[in-house]
Amino acid sequence: MEETHEQALPDLATLSDDDLKALIEELEAEENEVSYRRRLLQGRIDILRAERTARLKGKGVSDVDVDRLTDILATRSSPAPDVDEGT
C-alpha cells in the first residue's frame, strides 16, 4: 500500500485569521518547492530522452544538439523567491 504524506486540514472554524494566513503561506511554499523539483526532474528526463533518441538514430552523445537542450531547459524557470508582503 502506498504511503501518503498529505495531512488532513485542521478544523478551519478554530483557526484565527493569522493562523489561516500562515497555513496558506506554508502550503504555498511547499507547493513551490514541489513544483521546482518537478521542473528539475522534467529537465533531466528531457536530456535523457534526447540522448536516447540520438542513440536510436545511430548518433552518440557528442552528436546531441546541445543548443536544443539549452532551449528546452531555458523554458524551465527557477522557483519564485519568497516575497515578504510586509504583513
Q: What is the pLDDT of residues 41-83, one digit of tens each?
A: 998 898 888 888 888 888 665 656 667 767 766 765 555 555 4
Tell me how far apart the alpha carbons of residues 70 and 77 are, in angstroms, rounded to a whole number: 12
**Cα-based angle 48, 41, 71 (whole degrees, multiple of 5):** 65
Question: Domain residue spans in the chain?
Answer: 15-74
| Closest C-alpha to 69, from 55, 85, 48 | 48
| Assessment of whether the complete model's pTM goes beyond 0.75 | no
Tell me how far apart the alpha carbons of residues 16 and 28 are, in angstroms, rounded to a whole number: 18
Rounded to the nearest integer, the mean pLDDT of the chain is 77
Dihedral Cα 48, 51, 55, 58, nearest 10 deg: 160
C-alpha cell at 20: 489561516
1 — pLDDT class (breaks 50, 70, 90): very low
